Structure 1
Amino acid sequence: MKVKPEDIVRRYHSAPAASRLTLLCGPNVTRCQALVEELVQPLAQSAERVDMTISDISDRPGRLNDEANSASLFGDKRFIVLRLNSGEAVRATAAIENLLASETSGDPVFIVAPGMGDKTALAKSIIKAPDALIATCYETTPEQATAAIMTMAKHEGLRLSREMAQEIAVLTSNDLVLARMEVEKIALYLDATPENPQAPEADILLLLGAENDEEDINLLIHAALNGDANRLAQEIADARAQGISEIGLIRIMLRHLTKLAELRSKVDKGGNVDSVAGHPSVFFKEQKHFKRQLRIWSSAHIARLIERILQLEIAMKSSGQPDQVLLEEELLLIARKAASSR
C-alpha cells in the first residue's frame, strides 16, 4: 500500500502486525532515514535490531526472508533494517519479492532506499502487497517543515509558536532530522514533558547556539571536501572540545552532499561551475566552497561519498568502536582523496 510520508508512522504504529515490510524511498535521504528511525523506535525498546546491506542479499535472495523468520539467540523479538544505497534497489528486487511471497510473515522488515522511485516494478509490487507499506520522501518544503516541527514540539511538551517553528526550519534548512535534534535540545534544556509543558522564550535558539553549531559543522565538512588537511585537523580539534554530535554531523554532511550532487549534475549538463555555484539557492558564504568542490568531485565520486557516509552511520551502530574515531578516520580519508584530485 502506498501512503504519504507524514502518515506512514501513524499507519504502521496503529497496526504493526499488519505490515511485514515497510519501505521508504525517494530523493530525500535524511527524511527516509528519519522516518525509519521513528518507525522502529517502539521496537528498539525491547527487540533486537538486525542491520543489513545489499552485500548481505545480492548473492542470496532468500536470506532476507530467512532473517525475518529466524529466531534470535535468546528467543527475543527482532526487526530487520535493510539499507539500500542509490541504484541498489534493483539488485535487491529478488530478495524483497521473495519476502513478500513468503507464507510466513516473520519479524518486521524496514527498508531505506533513497533514490528509488515509486514507479518502478519493485515499487508497484510493494504497493499491491496487502501487508506492505511504501512512502516516497520528496524534499521538505518550508510549510511542511514548520508543521512537522510544531508536531514534534507538542510531543516533547513544548508550546512552540509558529514563528519559532519557522525559525528552526530555516536554521536546519527544512531538514527534519536536524530539526528534531533542535526540538529535543530545547525540551531537555527546559525540562519539558507532555505532562509538564513549557513555552520557550524567543531568544532560546540564540542561547542554545543552533546556528553556530551548524556553522561549526559546516567548516569541518568543507575542510574535508576541499582537501584542506591542516584546516581539517584544527576543525577536528575544535569539534572535540565542543562535543559536536557525530550523528548530527553525518546528517548535515548528507544534506550538503545531496546539494553538491544536484549542482554537479548541472555542471555535467554544460553549466559553468562559477554560475552554478553562484546560484541564489547557495548561501553566499558557502559559494566559494561549492566552487572548489565542484571542481574536485565528479558525480560518480559524490554518489560514492554518499554511500560511504550512509555506511558510516551503520558502522557507528554496530562496530563497537567509538563514533568519534570512526568519523575522524572517514573525514581524513575524504580530505586525502580531495587533495589528490585537485
Structure 2
Amino acid sequence: MKADPGRIASIARVWPPELRLVLLFGPDDSASRDLAGQLVAGIAPETLTEIDGSSLKHDPQALVAAATSLSMFGGRELVRVDGLDEAGLPAVEALLSAPAGHPVVAVAGDLKAANKLRQAAEKHAAIAACAQYEATLRDAPKLLAEMAAPLGLRLERGVAETLFASAAGDRQVMRRELEKYALFKDSAADNPQRLDADDLAALGIASGEAELFAPIAAITTGDVATASDLLARLPDGTAIPLLRGLERRFVQLIALRVEVDAGRSPDAVVEGARAIFFKEKPIIAKALAIWTQDRLRRAMGEILAAERAVKASGGLADVGAHAMLLAMTRRAAAAARRR
C-alpha cells in the first residue's frame, strides 16, 4: 500500500503486527536512507541484519531466511536491505508467503511507475511503500522544522534555508547537522531551544561551510586573484573542510554536466535543478561551462589525494593543498579563456 513520510514516522514508533515490509524509493535517495535510519532508530533492534539488495537476485530465499531466523539474544530483530530493485521481487514475494517474522526495511532506487516491484508493493496490504521526492529551497522551512522538533530545536528565520543550502538538500547531512546543534544547545523535546545564525557560526557553519562558498566559487570559475586572496586568509586547519566542500561541488557538477553534454545549456540545466541556492545558480552555471567530465574526474582525483596528504601530515599539508587548488584554479581560468 502507498504510504507517506508521516505514516512511516508512525511505523517507526510502533511497527504494526500485520506489516511485513517498508519499501522506501524515489529520486531522492538521501531522503529514503534518512527515513530508513529513522526506522532503525525508532525500532531500536538488538540485532540488525543488513543485506545487499543485488544479492537477492541470485538467492531470493536469503531475505526469508534473515526475516525468520531465531534471535540469538531473544530481543527484537530488524532486517535492512539496501539497493533493492525489480530483480528482488521474487525475494519479496517469498517473504510475503512465509510465516511472519522480523520487520524488514528496504531502500530502493528511483522505481518508475511501471516497475513491477513498485506496483506490487503499492498494492499489497502488508507493505508500506513510500516514494521520496527531492525537496527544494522553498520546502526548507517546513522540512527542517519537522526534523528539528523532536530534537527540541526551534529554528529562527533564515536558519532552515542556510542549513538546506550548505547540505545541498541532502537530508541525512541536514539531520546530522541538527543533531550536532541539539547537543550544542542542550535541547530536547521537553527542553526546547532556539537555533539562530549566531549558533550556526559558533559551531562552524560559517567556517566549515558558508565561509567556504566564496573560495569554492573562485576555484571552480577560474578566478585566480580571488582564490589566491581567499586561500591566504583561511585559518590553519581548514584544508579538510575546504577539500570536502569542493568535492561535493564537483560531484554536483558531474551530475549536472551529463545534461550539458546531452545538449542543454548550463543556465537551463541549473534553472531546472533542485536544491541549488538561488545565489549560487550563476556561479554553478559558469562552472558547468568550464568543467568537462574529464577535467572533473582529474580534479576529483587531486582532491582525494590532497585530503590523504593532509590527514597524513597534519596542518603542515594545508600549504600543499592550497598550492594544488591554485593550480586547479589556473587550469579553470585557461579553460574559460578558450571557450
CA drift at 1:262: 4.5
Structure 1 residues 56 and 215: alpha-carbon distance in aligned structure 2, compared to 1, 3 A threshold:
farther
The one-letter code of the counterpart of 1:145 is A
Q: After TM superposition, list the pairs within 5 Å mapping 1:259-274 onto structure 2.
A: 260-268=254-262, 270-271=263-264
CA drift at 1:163: 3.5
Q: After TM superposition, list the pairs within 5 Å mapping 1:1-342 onto structure 2.
A: 1-44=1-44, 46-84=45-83, 89-102=85-98, 104-214=99-209, 253=248, 257=251, 260-268=254-262, 270-271=263-264, 283=280, 284-286=282-284, 290-291=288-289, 294-296=292-294
Tell me, in whole angstroms, the C-alpha distance in 1 between the residues paired with 2:272 and 2:20: 44
Q: Secondary structure at the match of 2:129?
A: strand
Tell me, in whole angstroms, the C-alpha distance in 2 between the residues paired with 1:201 and 1:65: 48
Contact persistence 2:254–2:293 (CA under 8 A): no
- Residues 288-340 of structure 1 show CA distances to partners (whole Å, capped at 9, x for unaligned) of 65456542289xx9xxx9xxxxxxxxxxxxxxxxxx99xxxxxxxxxxxxxxx
Tell me, in whole angstroms, the C-alpha distance in 2 between the residues paired with 1:297 and 1:3: 42
The one-letter code of the counterpart of 1:181 is R
Contact persistence 2:155–2:196 (CA under 8 A): no
CA drift at 1:94: 1.3
Q: Secondary structure at the match of 1:199?
A: strand
The one-letter code of the counterpart of 1:142 is L
Contact persistence 2:12–2:42 (CA under 8 A): no
Structure 1 residues 11 and 91: alpha-carbon distance in aligned structure 2, compared to 1, 3 A threshold:
same
Can you give the 5+ residue segments of structure 1 that lack an aligned partner in the other structure? 224-237, 306-323, 326-342
TM-score (norm 1): 0.67
Tell me, in whole angstroms, the C-alpha distance in 1 between the residues paired with 2:78 and 2:212: 33
The one-letter code of the counterpart of 2:10 is R
The one-letter code of the counterpart of 1:271 is R
The one-letter code of the counterpart of 1:82 is V
Contact persistence 1:57–1:92 (CA under 8 A): yes
Q: Secondary structure at the match of 1:192?
A: coil
Can you give the 5+ residue segments of structure 2 that lack an aligned partner in the other structure? 220-233, 301-310, 313-339
The one-letter code of the counterpart of 2:255 is A
Q: Percent identity at matched positions?
A: 25
CA drift at 1:129: 1.4
State which structure, 1 or 2, has the greater radius of gyration over its C-alpha atoms.
Answer: 2
Contact persistence 1:23–1:110 (CA under 8 A): yes
Tell me, in whole angstroms, the C-alpha distance in 2 between the residues paired with 1:25 and 1:158: 28
Structure 1 residues 66 and 258: alpha-carbon distance in aligned structure 2, compared to 1, 3 A threshold:
farther
Contact persistence 2:166–2:210 (CA under 8 A): no
Tell me, in whole angstroms, the C-alpha distance in 2 between the residues paired with 1:37 and 1:73: 23
The one-letter code of the counterpart of 2:51 is M
Structure 1 residues 209 and 290: alpha-carbon distance in aligned structure 2, compared to 1, 3 A threshold:
farther
Contact persistence 1:157–1:192 (CA under 8 A): yes
The one-letter code of the counterpart of 1:19 is L
The one-letter code of the counterpart of 2:87 is R
Structure 1 residues 277 and 188: alpha-carbon distance in aligned structure 2, compared to 1, 3 A threshold:
same
- Residues 100-127 of structure 1 show CA distances to partners (whole Å, capped at 9, x for unaligned) of 222x121111111122224422112111
Structure 1 residues 7 and 43: alpha-carbon distance in aligned structure 2, compared to 1, 3 A threshold:
closer
TM-score (norm 2): 0.68
CA drift at 1:207: 2.2
Contact persistence 1:126–1:133 (CA under 8 A): yes
CA drift at 1:4: 1.7
Structure 1 residues 285 and 258: alpha-carbon distance in aligned structure 2, compared to 1, 3 A threshold:
closer
The one-letter code of the counterpart of 2:161 is Q
Structure 1 residues 49 and 161: alpha-carbon distance in aligned structure 2, compared to 1, 3 A threshold:
same
Structure 1 residues 100 and 12: alpha-carbon distance in aligned structure 2, compared to 1, 3 A threshold:
farther
The one-letter code of the counterpart of 2:143 is A
Tell me, in whole angstroms, the C-alpha distance in 1 between the residues paired with 2:133 and 2:250: 16
Tell me, in whole angstroms, the C-alpha distance in 1 between the residues paired with 2:46 and 2:56: 22
Tell me, in whole angstroms, the C-alpha distance in 2 between the residues paired with 1:138 and 1:280: 15
CA drift at 1:148: 2.2
CA drift at 1:60: 1.1
Contact persistence 2:12–2:38 (CA under 8 A): no
CA drift at 1:134: 0.6
Structure 1 residues 120 and 70: alpha-carbon distance in aligned structure 2, compared to 1, 3 A threshold:
same
Q: Secondary structure at the match of 1:92?
A: helix
